[in-house]
Amino acid sequence: MTHYPKPSPSTTTLPLDPQRNISTYGYTQAKALVYPKHGSPADVLNLHTHSISPPHSNHITLRTLAAPLNPSDINQIQGTYPTAPPFTQDLGTAQTSAVPGNEACFEVLAAGSACTNVTKGDWVIPRRTGL
């Protein structure tokens, strides 16, 4: 991740809901668009809800601020783009699935104890493609 300091409130305001959904067990509730196989986005994309445990070690919890939809993202879902995210069950999906996308801007919600380059509130972008 590339680290960028959070812009001052006087220069940027975003209509974000500051409330996070946290379950009774302390896990953050999250949603992700996933696809279990390549194909037409209308046919294969699903909204998956899952829980994220608090970060530990060098892990961080991120909140998506912006993620564009580009032609390359559609091609990735169709299986025609040169790079593709891995199909895994890391998000707890019933079948192996992938999360499409190559670009986004995130806010750090929490950082594990071994994270020294980012802190809560920082804005970051991915260093590599394939979210």
Q: Is 22 helix (H, G, I), strand (E, B) or coil?
A: strand
Amino acid at 96: T
Pairing of strands 2-4, 123-125: antiparallel
Q: 73 — phi, psi (to 5°)?
A: -65, -40
Instruction: Mark whether 81 is an active-site residue.
Output: yes
Of the candidates 4, 25, 27, 81, the residue annotated as catalytic is 81
Q: Which residues pair with 47 in a beta bridge?
A: 33
Q: Report how far apart, in Å, the C-alpha atoms of 87 and of each of 35, 81, 102, 131 are.
A: 9, 15, 15, 12
The DSSP bridge pattern shows strands 2-4 and 28-34 to be unpaired
Q: Which residues are catalytic?
A: 81
